[in-house]
Structure 1
Amino acid sequence: MIINEVVYLMETELIPYLTFENTKSALDYYQQIFGATDIFRTVPTPRQAEEMSLNADVDLNELTVQGGFSILGQKIFCADSFLGKPVVSSLVSLMLQVSQKDSAAVSALEALYQRVSTSDGVKVISSYEKKPTGEKAGQVVDKFGITWILKAVK
């Protein structure tokens, strides 16, 4: 059976959305270690807290219903896990890829790798170096269990 599929061209973005036990501290971590910018954070309203059946004595200013940041210009959204402790998975990795033709982007990516790979709690999976394909790439897992692949491609 052949199915004909109509593809509609529209402006879309695929934005990673991460879940943390404590997004407030995660945002601080990504700002300090990854150099995250454009950081924002929204706390739940009393009505949202009631709808989520949160304890009346919870400090809403410590909770995050939506947050976000950018790393090397790429948006990432996040929030607290209100359904229990988040589970780390190796099923999804985040890849930051730049063109080797953009020397500023390559320098920024290399600086990011150096800063991240030498910070506490980060596991280096592969060093950032030239690969047989001519690309440069490295891979790390941050303290939250998020896998980051950093690539400079031809």
Structure 2
Amino acid sequence: MSVTSSTYISFPGNAAEAFVYYQDLLGGELELLTYGSADLDGLPFTPPPEAVAHAKLTADAIAISGGDAMSSDRPPLRSDVYSFLLEIDSADEGRAFIERVTSTGGEVAMPFEVAPWGDLYGQVVDKFGVKWAVVAPA
């Protein structure tokens, strides 16, 4: 069996903005399909045409998929129960990633410091509320 994995995020109406931001942050190729540009006859709901039906960002060793949640009960994305763990090649690249996120409206959730297991580790929450854990060799 061959399996690949892609994280899926249901955004509260700002998926297009988020995916463009993540492409700027991580690079890669972005596929983005809005309900207005899709042939989706027969849906059991009527989505706004500008809402994202499906998006996928593929960059290096990461893939993120998602779209706009259609439920009126959209929970906030910010949570302490999940994060994306990025294993970055060097301390400088780890610091640079954290700086890019904080300089665009994010905030440090845990300083990028030497962890008990010997690597550098820190956490940053982006402007959409998604937490990124960053680990790099010390």
Match status 1:91 vs 2:81: yes
Q: Is the 8 A contact 1:72 1:108 kept in 2?
A: no
Deviation at 1:133, TM superposition (A): 2.4
User: TM-score with structure 1 length normalisation?
Assistant: 0.72
Q: Is the 8 A contact 2:104 2:127 kept in 1?
A: no
- 2:3 aligned residue: 12
Identical amino acids, percent of aligned pairs: 23
Deviation at 1:128, TM superposition (A): 1.5
Deviation at 1:136, TM superposition (A): 0.6
Q: Structure 1 residues 77 and 92 mapped into 2: Cα distance closer, same or farther (>3 Å)?
A: same
Larger Rg: 1
Name the CA distance, whole Å, in 2 between partners of 1:71 and 1:137.
22
- Structure 1's unaligned 5+ residue stretches are 1-9, 99-104
- 2:30 aligned residue: 39
User: TM-score with structure 2 length normalisation?
Assistant: 0.79
- 1:28 aligned residue: 20
Q: Return the structure number with greater helix share.
A: 1
The equivalent position to 1:51 in structure 2, one of 37, 43, 47, is 43
Deviation at 1:153, TM superposition (A): 4.8
The within-5 A match list for 1:1-154 is 10-20=1-11, 21-32=13-24, 34-44=25-35, 45-48=38-41, 50-54=42-46, 58=48, 60=49, 62-88=50-76, 89-98=79-88, 105-106=89-90, 107-120=92-105, 122-153=106-137
Name the CA distance, whole Å, in 1 between partners of 2:82 and 2:43.
30
Cα RMSD, aligned residues only: 2.3
